[in-house]
């Protein structure tokens, strides 16, 4: 079995995955959303302190598996340095104490493998990753052959929802809150410009849209917020759809997947379903509970890396805030 740890942002999670069957045997996550909600976003130092409390609590519950562990996998990049350190330090201690190898896992690869926690599928896949830290399209041929073909030049899709929610004093994380508020709103009421709509670039940008929404919020009454939320959600998704449309002209999709915390967004999902119809491409989604950060996806990658012998040395495994 493999024990896996995730602490790249504001979720403390540990999983146990069986190597032979790739089955998830145990998973527990303690989210810090409530604690960060009053600040309208994640406060890194607070997040690190909360990981230091939560991770040992979850680890206690894994005691029965200790004798069967063959390796420990841990998210080592990308993420918040101070929170990644909490998971990596714990993983190193486990590796030393149990005399088992350590595997450093890239969080973004973890999100891709969230697709395979409960069901198997095959590469190649075109993957849209939408999370709090990333908005990118990747061509994935295998664990070690992942090519990023488009990414955000500034804010990410999920982050823009968090920031809009903060402007409206709704709390954190903003994605589900804006989605809920948008349900009752008029999507056409505000005519925000779709980012980069005249640019030939296949890339994403959310800072301009965020600023347009800020101006609208400043002028609006609270009763207008749902129309602003609905219009913002429409344009945020339209941006992705326009760029994917352009990309699909060059590389038509066969199998397409949406992963990451913001892949829970129902409006985005429905728009992408429509976009894929003429291509007759399959759409893969992970279970809702594995869209947001979790350790099950890190364990799933851990199994693949274990089988390929992709271990890290204790001295060399360092955290890295940027994706490597």
Binding site for ligand KG4 (CB under 6 A): 9, 131-133, 158-159, 161-162, 173-176, 179, 260-262, 264-265, 292-293
Do 13 and 28 meet the contact criterion of CB atoms below 8 Å apart? yes
Least separation in angstroms between residue 213's CB and Zn ion is 23
The entry of Zn ion, ligand KG4, none that residue 78 binds, CB within 5 to 8 Å by partner kind: none
Decide: 136 and 129 in contact? Cβ < 8 Å.
Answer: yes
Does residue 149 have a known ligand-binding role? no
Query: Is 158 labelled as part of a ligand binding site?
Result: no
Q: How far is the CB of 111 from ligand KG4 (least distance, A)?
A: 6
State in angstroms the smallest separation of the CB of 254 from ligand KG4. Answer: 25
Specify the pairing of strand 125-130 against strand 2-6: unpaired
How far from 219 is each of 68, 212, 213, 226, 228, CA to CA, in Å? 60, 11, 10, 14, 11
Binding mask 98-137 for Zn ion (x = CB under 5 A): ---------------------------------x------
131 labeled part of a ligand binding site:
yes
Q: How far is the CB of 129 from ligand KG4 (least distance, A)?
A: 8
Integer CA distances (angstroms), 14 to 4, 274, 289, in order? 5, 36, 14
CA 145 and chain centroid, separation: 19
Is 132 labeled as ligand-binding? Answer: yes
CB 75 within 8 A of CB 105: yes
Residue 184 assigned ligand-binding role: no
161 binds, among ligand KG4, Zn ion, none (CB under 5 to 8 A by kind): ligand KG4
* Closest alpha carbon to 15 in 276, 213, 322, 299: 299
Please say which residue, 113 or 306, places its beta carbon nearer to ligand KG4: 113
Q: Is 175 annotated as a binding residue?
A: yes
Cα-based angle 286, 143, 246 (whole degrees, multiple of 5): 65
CB contact at 8 A, 183 and 227: no
Kindly list the residues in this chain that would bind Zn ion in the complex (CB under 5 A): 131, 293
Binding residues for Fe cation: 107, 111, 293
Binding residues for substrate: 129-133, 162, 175, 265
């Amino acid at each position: 079995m493999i024990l896996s740890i995730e602490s790249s942002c504001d979720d403390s999670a540990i999983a146990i995955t069986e190597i032979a069957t790739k089955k998830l045997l145990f998973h527990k996550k303690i989210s810090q959303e409530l604690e960060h909600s009053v600040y309208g976003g994640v406060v890194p130092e607070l997040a690190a302190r909360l990981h230091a409390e939560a991770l040992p609590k979850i680890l206690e519950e894994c005691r029965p598996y200790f004798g069967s562990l063959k390796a420990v996998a841990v998210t080592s990049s990308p993420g918040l340095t101070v929170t990644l350190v909490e998971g990596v330090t714990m993983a190193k201690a486990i590796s030393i104490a149990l005399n088992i190898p350590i595997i450093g896992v890239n969080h973004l690869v973890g999100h891709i493998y969230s697709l395979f926690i409960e069901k198997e599928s095959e590469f190649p896949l075109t993957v849209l990753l939408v999370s709090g830290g990333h908005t990118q399209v990747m061509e994935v041929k295998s664990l070690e052959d992942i090519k990023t073909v488009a990414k955000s030049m500034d804010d990410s899709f999920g982050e823009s929802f968090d920031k809009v929610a903060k402007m409206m004093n709704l709390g954190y994380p903003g994605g589900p809150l804006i989605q809920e508020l948008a349900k009752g709103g008029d999507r056409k009421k505000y005519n925000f410009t779709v980012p980069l709509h005249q640019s030939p670039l296949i890339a994403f940008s959310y800072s301009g849209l965020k600023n347009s929404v800020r101006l609208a919020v400043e002028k609006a009454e609270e009763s207008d917020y749902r129309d602003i939320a609905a219009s913002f959600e429409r344009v945020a998704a339209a941006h992705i759809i326009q760029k994917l449309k352009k990309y699909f002209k060059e590389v038509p999709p066969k199998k397409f997947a949406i992963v990451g915390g913001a892949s829970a967004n129902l409006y985005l999902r429905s728009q992408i379903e429509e976009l894929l119809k003429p291509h007759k491409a399959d759409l893969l989604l992970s279970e809702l509970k594995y869209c947001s950060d979790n350790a099950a996806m890190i364990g799933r990658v851990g199994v693949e890396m274990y089988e390929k012998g992709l271990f890290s040395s204790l001295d060399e495994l360092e955290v890295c805030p940027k994706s490597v």
